Structure 1
Amino acid sequence: MTQKVAFITGAARGLGREIARALARDGCRLYLVDVLGDRLEDTAAELLAAGHEVVSRLVDVSNHHQCVEAVSDCVERFGELTVLVNCAAIMRMEPFTDTSEEVWNHILAVNLSGPFFLCQAAIPHLIAARGSIVNVASSNGLMGTPYTGPYSASKAALISLTKTLAMEYVEEPIRVNAVCPGPMATEIASEAMPPASIKREKVARYSGQRGLGDAVDVANVVAFLASDAAAGVHGAIWTADLGTSAG
């Protein structure tokens, strides 16, 4: 993937940072975005110090204008856009009837509208570069998961969007795929700790029997799908959840 240009959202921490590291390792030039400015700069500084070509930009992916401007800036700086990785996401665990309209709208805006806006802006450039999109969905989007209504709905919709784009652009030189991680030891998981009122045995049923996943392992799957080695993979939804969604 030497010299290819990868646009990665949610790159400030967790899985997004590991994806940035994996694509940098494979030779990509990186355009990293997040709303966490200081943490994003830490990621960029680490990769720059290792000799990689990196640009970072503060972007709220729920804002359509900011998404369009970021894609334009990426192409202007690097001359092309080869890979789009939609990783930015937020999660909250609470009983369904406790979920406010504000929380519902915010989670859907970040987890679903953001990828929608970025795919719209990036697809013409990705077609020109014969590139690919990798959407980071979740095993929550593949099965029923209590106390995560907005998050699970957003990830199920992102899976559907991935398949829809794959079919709409099936005759174009672009690939669109998604990766579905399971529970991982990242900050998004720790910040979404459920309230004491929930029934923990319900949560345990979809927490996986092999423990928490490693973000590095998921990042390697994303890197493969973004690479030419996955030239035959289009419209696929790959699980990387240690078997959580298998049964």
Structure 2
Amino acid sequence: MSSHKHIKPSSSRTKPRESSSATRDVEDRDYDLDVYAIRVTIHTTGKFFEGDTRSGNHASIFLLTSNNASVRLNMTKLSADATMGTYQMIYCRYQRINSSLRDFDLTATGRGLKVGHVLELVEKKRRNEYQLARSGLGCRHLVKTVIRDFNDARFISSSSTLTTEDAVNGLRYNYSKGKDPEPEKIDPGTFVSDIPKKVKKLQNTDTKGIGSGSHRSTGSGSESVDSTQKHGDLM
């Protein structure tokens, strides 16, 4: 990794703030922390209905740092009617979270990866600007995309026991305590940087549809309700 000065996202704090809390916002001093592993965590969000037999899930990323702490990268839904996710960078004084049902640990490159390198890439790629799926979900698609960004940037060691695709494939399942994983479709949101591309694609599709006389499907209009929606900060 290069030793150039990190460009700190506008949402980062500029002054340290001491607190006894287990978590706090990321501060300038955290950008120089060494990252030795990148963890994809599948969290339980509990059951939405009394008759549910499986837990809702949420996915986020933890950067495990050399001081036995971590930095969590999380996309939250702050209100029931929110269509845009809210990106969070959280310093955690722990490396394992109680809500975890499954962790996928990827060994970081040994070339001096810093927290700042990772946060800078997320902002450069505009992964922090994310429109949720119509269902209000989308966290697993975001994590899948960001982890692949990290792999392309060579943030993940080629000697890592688990590969990037191991973690990506792990996101394709629902996890519930005491039960075997079950396949679950990833409900994708849309990165703001991709919206113009989608609009252009739809315009091209409309033109073709009119010219050929074909009918365009508008979908069923139904939307499933996922148990994760009951948690304002979990999707």
TM-score range, shorter chain: under 0.3
The TM-score normalised by the length of structure 2 is 0.26
Q: Per residue, is there more helix in 1 or in 2?
A: 1
Bigger relative contact order (CA 8 A; separation at least 6): 2
Determine which structure has the larger strand proportion and give its number: 2
